[in-house]
Amino acid sequence: MPRYALKIEYNGAPYAGWQRQADLPSVQGAIEAALAKLEPGPHTIAAAGRTDTGVHGLGQVAHCDMTKDWDAFRLSEALNFHLKPEPVAVVGCAVVDDAWHARFSAQARHYLFRLVVRRAPLTHDAGLAWRVMQPLSLEAMQIAANHLLGQHDFTTFRASECQAKSPVKTLDRLDIEELEYPGGREFRFHLSARSFLHNQVRSFVGTLERVGAGAWAPDDVKLALEARDRAKCGPVCPPYGLYLRAVDYPADPFS
């Protein structure tokens, strides 16, 4: 059976996350339903990351197995036709080896979190960024973020229901940039690692926001990390500012 890699973009607002669920809409379910319109029978796709309820995808990657040989471009076009009007789009499609796996072949995952500081509610970016009203210090947040880089036991920043075998992960990047935004400022958090714990990114950003607002000192993040205690984590920020931006593989199947 030929295998295809799919690069997928989606607005996570209408979905109870990536993973298929019996009674709730999911991104996986929407794509599998579109596949079933192309070839009969149940379809099961695997993804690089199982994003949570409300989290968006800019470069999610999944793979599917088909019974017949499809031209990759025609497959993506057919899927996009049958995905309408769902806010899901296949933006890349490529034939891959049978041993290639969207999750297990991945070498790194890159996330983006958008935080907007302004008094007025968001209109065009409603549901696409987290709005806070108090000014934030970029310098303080970046100093605090640097404490999280490298290999650590991230128990403090791990959801209680996380199913990962170990809380030890290596964070390769946590950079924050500040941009102009109409009526305010936007902070973009860029995070990279081979893999992440459940709610790890949102726990980081929620905690760093407290640092930026002056409620925490930068070194408080180091103390929280070393405590290895979930109760020491700052507030977990909402999901709608979070995006799975890209996934790296030994060879880019979409190049």
Distance, in Å, from the CA atom of 128 to the CA atom of 108, rounded to the nearest integer, reads 24
Number of folded domains that form the chain: 2
Distance, in Å, from the CA atom of 50 to the CA atom of 169, rounded to the nearest integer, reads 17
Distances (CA, A) of 14 to 39, 81, 86, 238: 26, 19, 9, 15
Give the model confidence (pLDDT) of 200-222 as tens digits.
999 999 999 999 999 999 999 99
Task: Point out the domain boundary residue: 73, 105, 137.
Answer: 105
Give the model confidence (pLDDT) of 170-205 as tens digits.
999 999 999 999 999 999 999 999 999 999 999 999
Give the amino acid at 78. A
Q: Are strands 108-117 and 130-132 parallel, antiparallel or unpaired?
A: parallel
88 in a domain, yes or no? yes
Q: Is 121 found in the same domain as 90?
A: no
162 confidence band (pLDDT: 50, 70, 90): confident
Q: Is 99 found in the same domain as 16?
A: yes
Give the model confidence (pLDDT) of 25-84 as tens digits.
999 999 999 999 999 988 999 999 999 999 999 999 999 999 999 999 999 999 999 999
Predicted TM-score (pTM) of the model is 0.96
Q: Are 229 and 156 in contact (CB under 8 A)?
A: yes
Q: Is 239 found in the same domain as 120?
A: yes
For residue 117, the enclosing domain spans 108-246
205 in a domain, yes or no? yes
Distance, in Å, from the CA atom of 241 to the CA atom of 187, rounded to the nearest integer, reads 11
Q: Are 221 and 34 in contact (CB under 8 A)?
A: no
* Closest C-alpha among 42, 127, 48 to residue 92: 48
The CATH number assigned to the domain holding 213 equals 3.30.70.660
Kindly name the residue from 52, 172, 248, 252 that is annotated as catalytic: 52
Distance, in Å, from the CA atom of 235 to the CA atom of 204, rounded to the nearest integer, reads 9
Distance, in Å, from the CA atom of 238 to the CA atom of 54, rounded to the nearest integer, reads 9
> What average pLDDT does this structure show over 127-145?
98
Q: Is 229 a catalytic residue?
A: no
Q: Is 154 found in the same domain as 65?
A: no
Q: Can you read off the two tokens belonging to residue 122?
A: 């968001």
> Which residue shows structure tokens 């890699």?
5
Q: Is 37 found in the same domain as 23?
A: yes
Q: Which residues sit opposite 94 in a β-bridge?
A: 5
> What average pLDDT does this structure show over 94-122?
98
> What average pLDDT does this structure show over 238-244?
97
85 prior amide bond cis, ω within 30: yes
Say which residues have a Cβ less than 8 Å from residue 141's Cβ, sequence separation at least 6: 176, 187, 208, 209, 211, 212, 218
Q: Is 156 found in the same domain as 89?
A: no
1 confidence band (pLDDT: 50, 70, 90): confident
251 in a domain, yes or no? no
Q: Which residues sit opposite 153 in a β-bridge?
A: 168
Q: What pLDDT does residue 73 have?
A: 98
